Chain A
Amino acid sequence: SAVISQKPSRDICQRGTSLTIQCQVDSQVTMMFWYRQQPGQSLTLIATANQGSEATYESGFVIDKFPISRPNLTFSTLTVSNMSPEDSSIYLCSVSGGSYEQYFGPGTRLTVT
């Protein structure tokens, strides 16, 4: 499976600011996804990052709050905008080579104060 890295691994941010999270894969992949895992909870899909076009967002998530870029087949970014304490979560990217299997990065642990 692909090696997936995320930067930063963790951060503490003040409310009202924005943080951009990077996801890098060591090989080209067809699909990239972004998930949120709130403290002690399961994973929830935020959006599918589409290469060369706008991301596809799930119900409850909007582009103004979570803008996503995917400039090529190995890289994507997720920005958490105008943060509030409710945005404190683990943010994870996952990748798929076109099969149904998805592989996850290590996650970015965000705390908003």
Chain B
Amino acid sequence: GQQLNQSPQSMFIQEGEDVSMNCTSSSIFNTWLWYKQDPGEGPVLLIALYKAGELTSNGRLTAQFGITRKDSFLNISASIPSDVGIYFCAGSGGGADGLTFGKGTHLIIQP
């Protein structure tokens, strides 16, 4: 089946630093999604990407859909304490398809 490789597995950064994480796939996806999960909660959708090469921003978050449709990255600028959590990439082949998730990036911010 499809697999997503997400890196890094964890990040220890200082407050105010920029963060970058990425996902690569062995298969093509039609949609890339980025989620954040806080402890004890379900994942929350941050950004959805629909077109190869698309660059989308949501506040301090920026994500891009790779031109080959096999990769995506997420950047967080000027990190703040509430950015702590687990970030997941997810790929979809179509609207009726379930999502394939990466293994997650644990973001830890040191004050």
Contacts and interface: CB of A to CB of B under 8 A. Distances in A.
5 contacts: A43-B90, A43-B101, A101-B48, A102-B45, A107-B41
Nearest to B48: A101
A45 B43 CA distance: 14
B99 interface: yes
A100 B88 contact: no
A100 B42 contact: no
Contact of B44 (A30, A59, A98, A104): A104
Contacts of B41: 106-107
A58 interface: yes
A64 B100 CA distance: 23
Interface of B: 1, 30-31, 33, 35, 40-45, 48, 50, 88, 90, 92, 94-96, 98-104
Contacts of A101: 33, 45, 48
Interface residues of A, number: 28
Interface in A20-71: 30-31, 33, 35, 41-45, 48, 58-59
B48 A100 contact: yes
A107 B30 contact: no
B95 A45 contact: no
A102 B1 contact: no
A43 B95 contact: no
Nearest to B102: A42
Contacts of A42: 88, 101-104
Nearest to B100: A45
Given A98-B95, A100-B33, A105 B42 contact: yes
